[in-house]
Amino acid sequence: MTRMTRRVVITGLGIVSPLGSSVDTFWNALMSGASGARRVALDGIADVTAFPVDGVDDAARARFGQREIRRMDRVGRLATLAAAAALSDSGEHGVPAERIGAMVGCVHGGAQTLHDAEVTLATRGAERVSPLAIPLGLTNSAVAAVARTLDLRGPTGVTGTACAAGTDAVGAGVELIRSGRADLALAGGAEAPLAALLVTGYRQLGALSQTQRPPQEASRPFDTARDGFVMGEGAGILVLEERERALSRGATIYAEVVGHASTCDAGHLTDPDPEGTGAARVIALALADAQVAVDAVGYINAHATSTRAGDAAEARALAAAGLTTTPVSATKAAHGHALGAAGGIEAVVTVLALVHQTLPATLNLETPDAEIPLAHVLAPRPAPIEIAISNSFGFGGHNACLVMRAHHPPV
């Protein structure tokens, strides 16, 4: 079948997040205005405001056993829990292992494993460093854990395009289905970056919020008082498959991925193009891939991390793309910025907005920037949404966009 005839739908969802680790719990918390932020103690540095996930080790041990979780860094545990939930949610698919692929966005790999190895090397000597430090510390450790625990023997890969990685991974998964290289693909992102070195590094860059506000008020996307992002962890995974196959097996179809695109600013090491030119172009390219007009978009899940430069650049990009009157929200204020996992988590948010025909809100947005007025969603509300987009932008100028369509069963 050609690319244009292989329509890609979402038949499974998995989420592990600071707001909960089931789809219903996560969505209900998002709708209630909850925040997963709190103060977190990390080895060697002062407590930080962050968005941690509770109960990960216990849940992974119950699902996979103690022997298996010893062969995973925390990022692998997050990824496998979300992937297993998504695959279970997709139902009896009947696809052989050799035809199931996996694409997982991840930036920092096994950050805690590498931190522990460094501490061991410094305090106990080289002979005491674990032989698992390298395989668990690699960026591919999350997708490798997913493939191993779920016996996925098709094409696998990891995208590492900074905070665009999860969205790029979904795009890669879409191409596996479009091209016929896989009949089922798990795609999304996972990240466990709450390790002292990483938090310190991002702080030294000036990327993290230093506000003295309560933790739940620290992340303030698009607000004039924003001063940096608040780091989180988690995983969000989608199950993708070809539409006709999903219909033939009676699968629950949540939504359809109709377009995706990636671009690069090829500019500053960390800051986006201040005019948002590359970001506007990626939105246009994704809509062109979807064959969707800009005025058909009913919801935007913004990347908006609560940084001064990033949110301003995205607002300019949305204006350049003709989307200033389209409802927009940035849910990172509720679940945190999980770096490579952000696109996966927010893809789940975008799918659920289509399923529930409800716009999620941006928390803590008290005084929006006046330079470029946007149609901010300040409280959840019902709305007819046929087309939704999810944006992700990362260090290095990476831009990614997904376009999704609400599913309507054939008559």
CA 186/CA 62 separation, integer angstroms:
22
* Closest to 189 in 3D by CA, of 136, 232, 229: 232
> Active site residue: 108, 115, 335, 337, which one?
337
CA distances from 22 to 18, 59, 105, 391 (A): 11, 12, 20, 23
**Tokens 């599913």, residue located:** 407
* CA 61/CA 265 separation, integer angstroms: 42
User: Which whole-number Å values give the CA distances from 115 to 60, 225, 268, 411, in the listed order?
Assistant: 21, 33, 28, 55
Dihedral sign, Cα of residue 115, residue 120, residue 125, residue 129: negative
**Marked catalytic residue, from 260, 303, 335, 407:** 303
Q: Give the three-state DSSP class for 101.
A: strand
Give the active site residue among 93, 106, 108, 163.
163
Is 376 marked active-site? no
Residue 286 and residue 261 in contact, taking contact as beta carbons nearer than 8 Å? yes
Structure tokens at 381: 């509300």
Strands 297-301 and 327-329: parallel
CA atoms of 287 and 269, how far apart (whole Å): 27
Residue 106 annotated to the active site: no
Whether the CB-CB separation of 403 and 287 falls below 8 Å is answered with yes
303 is known as an active-site residue: yes
**What whole-number distance in Å separates Cα of residue 221 and Cα of residue 223?**
5
Cβ 242 vs Cβ 6: under 8 Å: yes
DSSP string, 40-94: EEETTEEEEEEB--SSHHHHHHHHH-HHHHTT--HHHHHHHHHHHHHHHHT----
Contact 111, 219 (CB under 8 A): no
Catalytic annotation, residues: 163, 303, 337
